[in-house]
C-alpha cells in the first residue's frame, strides 16, 4: 500500500504542518516539508521536535525516512503535486487575518499545470477565490487550488488528525480535489466535499460556534454566582440534552489559544467587510475578555488590596498538554495582577520556555509546590493533571493565606475545603 500513496509537500512546519506531515507519512506518503525558519528546519533535520505535542515525536521518528525537511521549495515542487499550506495566519492590528505568509507562498509558486495548493491554514472566506485570481493574472491558471481546513486540537493533535470527526474538501471538481479525496481515503470519517468558499466558512463558523458555547456558559456561570446555582451541575444537566452536548460547556477563565481568538475576530471582520454586522460575535469576544479579568475581582473580594500580596499561578499554557502560550488567559491575568501590585509566581510543567518569551518579568517556580510556598492565594489557570493531584494538606501547610481559586472548575472542592482552605470556583 505504501508504494501507492502520493508524495506531498507541506509548507509551514508548525503545529498543523508538522502533524499533517507526520500523519500522511504514517499512512505511507513521502512528505517534503518546507519552512522559512532555518533554525526550525535544522532542528527537524537533526530529529528534534520544536513543539510539544503528545505522540508527535514518536510519529516523526517512526516515519523519519519518509520525511524530508528543507528551507527550499524546489524539491517539494519536483516530487509532489499537492502542496499543503500550513503557514500562520495571525491577526493583524485591525483583527483581520494576516495573510502575508499565505501570499508569500502564493508568490513563490511557479507556472505549472501539475500542482495544487491545498490550504490547511485557516483563512477568511474568499481567500481561495483571491488566490485563483492572482494565479490567473500571472498566467498560472494551471495551478489548482483546494481548501482543506484542519480541525485538530493542540494537546491531542496527532489523535485528532488520525481520527478526524470529518474531512472537509472544497474544490473546483478538478484533479486536485480528487487527489486530496484519495489521500484521505484511509480515514474513517464522513467527508464533506463542497465548493471552496463553503469549506473556508465551515472552519470559521465551527470555531466561532465553539467560542460562542464557551462564552455562553461563562455568562451562565456569572449568573449562577448571583443566584446561588452551581454551573457545574447546570452544564451537566444541559449537556445531557443530545441537541446541546456536553463539550465546550465548562465555565472558566475564558478561551485562549491561537485559533479561537483570531478566528472569531476574523469572522466578525469578514462579515463587517462584506457589509454585515455580526452582533453575536461582538458579545462572545467581550464576554471572553471580561472573563479573564473577573478572577481579579474575586481575589480583591477576599484579600482587599492586592498590592504586596503573593499570588501563585498553577499553569500558564492556554490549555493542558500543550506548550502554546498564544492567547493564553494567563497573559492577561498575570499582567492585571502585576498592575495591581501583586507578586506573581507561576509554574507550568511544559510551557515555561514559551511563557518566558512573553512574560520575562514573571517569577517562575520550578514546581507546583514552589508556587504554593508563601502564597496568599492560588489560582488554577491550566488544568494540568499534576495540579489535580496536589496534596491539599501540604498545600495548606505551605501557603501564607488560604484562598484557592479554581479557574477551570477542575479541582475537587471538598478535598480543598477539607484541608482548611477556602475554595472558590467559577460560577459555583
Among 11, 296, 351, 368, binds ligand NAD (CB under 6 A): 11
CA angle 291, 295, 298 (to 5 degrees): 130
Nearer residue to ligand NAD within complex by CB, 73 or 398: 73
Residue 86 contacts ligand NAD per CB under 6 A: yes
Residue 20 contacts ligand NAD per CB under 6 A: no
Closest by CA position to 151, among listed 198, 195, 188, 199: 199
Residue 150 contacts ligand NAD per CB under 6 A: yes
**Residue 309 grid coordinates:** 500580596
On the 0-12 / 13-18 / 19+ scale of CB atoms within 10 A, 339 is exposed
Residue 36 contacts ligand NAD per CB under 6 A: yes
Residue 147 contacts ligand NAD per CB under 6 A: no
Site string for ligand NAD, 103-142 (x = CB under 6 A): -xx--------------xxx--------------------
Q: How far apart are the first and last CA of the chain?
A: 54
Q: How far is the CB of 154 from ligand NAD (least distance, A)?
A: 4
Residue 34 contacts ligand NAD per CB under 6 A: yes
Residue 320 contacts ligand NAD per CB under 6 A: no
Nearer residue to ligand NAD within complex by CB, 200 or 406: 200
Q: How far is the CB of 86 from ligand NAD (least distance, A)?
A: 5
**Residue 392 grid coordinates:** 491539599
DSSP class of residue 97 equals: B
Q: Which stretch binds ligand NAD (CB under 6 A): 130-138, 147-155, 209-217, 341-349?
A: 147-155
Q: How far is the CB of 90 from ligand NAD (least distance, A)?
A: 8
- Active-site residues, by number, are 259
210-269 binders of ligand NAD (CB under 6 A): 258-259
Helices (H), 3-118: 15-26, 38-45, 56-62, 74-79, 100-107
The site for ligand NAD, by CB under 6 A, has a size of: 27
Residue 15 contacts ligand NAD per CB under 6 A: yes
Q: What b/e sequence results for 57-70 when a residue is b if at least 16 CB atoms lie within 10 Å of its CB, and e otherwise?
A: bebbeebeebbbbb
Among 10, 24, 25, 40, binds ligand NAD (CB under 6 A): 40
Residue 146 contacts ligand NAD per CB under 6 A: no
> Which residue number has the CB closest to ligand NAD?
14
Residue 12 contacts ligand NAD per CB under 6 A: yes
Positions that interact with ligand NAD (CB under 6 A): 11-17, 34-37, 40, 86-89, 101, 104-105, 120-122, 150, 152, 154, 258-259
Amino acid at each position: 500500500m505504501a508504494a501507492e500513496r502520493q508524495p506531498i509537500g507541506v509548507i509551514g512546519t508548525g503545529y498543523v504542518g508538522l502533524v499533517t506531515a507526520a500523519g500522511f507519512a504514517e499512512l505511507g506518503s513521502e512528505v517534503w516539508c518546507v519552512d522559512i525558519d532555518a533554525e526550525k528546519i535544522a532542528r527537524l533535520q537533526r530529529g528534534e521536535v520544536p513543539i510539544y505535542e503528545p505522540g508527535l515525536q514518536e510519529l516523526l521518528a517512526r516515519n523519519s525516512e519518509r520525511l524530508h525537511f528543507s528551507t527550499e521549495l524546489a524539491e517539494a515542487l519536483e516530487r509532489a503535486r499537492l502542496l499543503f499550506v500550513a503557514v500562520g495566519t495571525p491577526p493583524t492590528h485591525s483583527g483581520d487575518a494576516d495573510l502575508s505568509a499565505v501570499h508569500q507562498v502564493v508568490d513563490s509558486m511557479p507556472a505549472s499545470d501539475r500542482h495544487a495548493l491545498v490550504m490547511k491554514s485557516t483563512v477568511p472566506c474568499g481567500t481561495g477565490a483571491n488566490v485563483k485570481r492572482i494565479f490567473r493574472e500571472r498566467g498560472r491558471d494551471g495551478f489548482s487550488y483546494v481548501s482543506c481546513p484542519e480541525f485538530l486540537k493542540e494537546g491531542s493533535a496527532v489523535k485528532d488528525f488520525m481520527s478526524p470527526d470529518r474531512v472537509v474538501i472544497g474544490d473546483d471538481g478538478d484533479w486536485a480535489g480528487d487527489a486530496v479525496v484519495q489521500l484521505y481515503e484511509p480515514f474513517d470519517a464522513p467527508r464533506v466535499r463542497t465548493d471552496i468558499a463553503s469549506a473556508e466558512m465551515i472552519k470559521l463558523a465551527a470555531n466561532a460556534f465553539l467560542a460562542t458555547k464557551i462564552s455562553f456558559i461563562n455568562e451562565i456561570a456569572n449568573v449562577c454566582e448571583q443566584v446561588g446555582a452551581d454551573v457545574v451541575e447546570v452544564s451537566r444537566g444541559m449537556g445531557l440534552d443530545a441537541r446541546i452536548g456536553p463539550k465546550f460547556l465548562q465555565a472558566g477563565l475564558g478561551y485562549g489559544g491561537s485559533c479561537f481568538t483570531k478566528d472569531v475576530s476574523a469572522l466578525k471582520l469578514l462579515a463587517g467587510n462584506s457589509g454585515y454586522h455580526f452582533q453575536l460575535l461582538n458579545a462572545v469576544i467581550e464576554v471572553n475578555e471580561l472573563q479573564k479579568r473577573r478572577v481579579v475581582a474575586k481575589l480583591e473580594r477576599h484579600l482587599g488590596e492586592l498590592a504586596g500580596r503573593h499570588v501563585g499561578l498553577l499553569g500558564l499554557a492556554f490549555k493542558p498538554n500543550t506548550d502554546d502560550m498564544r492567547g493564553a488567559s494567563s497573559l492577561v491575568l498575570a499582567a492585571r495582577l502585576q498592575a495591581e501590585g501583586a507578586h506573581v509566581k507561576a509554574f507550568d510543567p511544559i510551557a515555561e520556555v514559551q511563557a518566558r518569551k512573553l512574560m520575562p518579568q514573571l517569577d517562575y517556580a520550578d514546581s507546583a509546590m514552589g508556587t504554593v510556598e508563601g502564597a496568599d492565594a492560588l489560582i488554577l489557570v491550566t488544568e494540568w493533571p499534576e495540579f489535580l493531584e496536589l496534596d491539599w494538606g501540604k498545600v495548606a501547610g505551605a501557603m501564607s493565606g488560604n484562598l484557592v481559586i479554581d479557574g477551570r472548575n477542575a479541582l475537587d472542592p471538598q478535598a480543598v475545603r477539607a484541608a482548611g482552605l477556602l475554595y472558590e470556583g467559577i460560577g459555583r
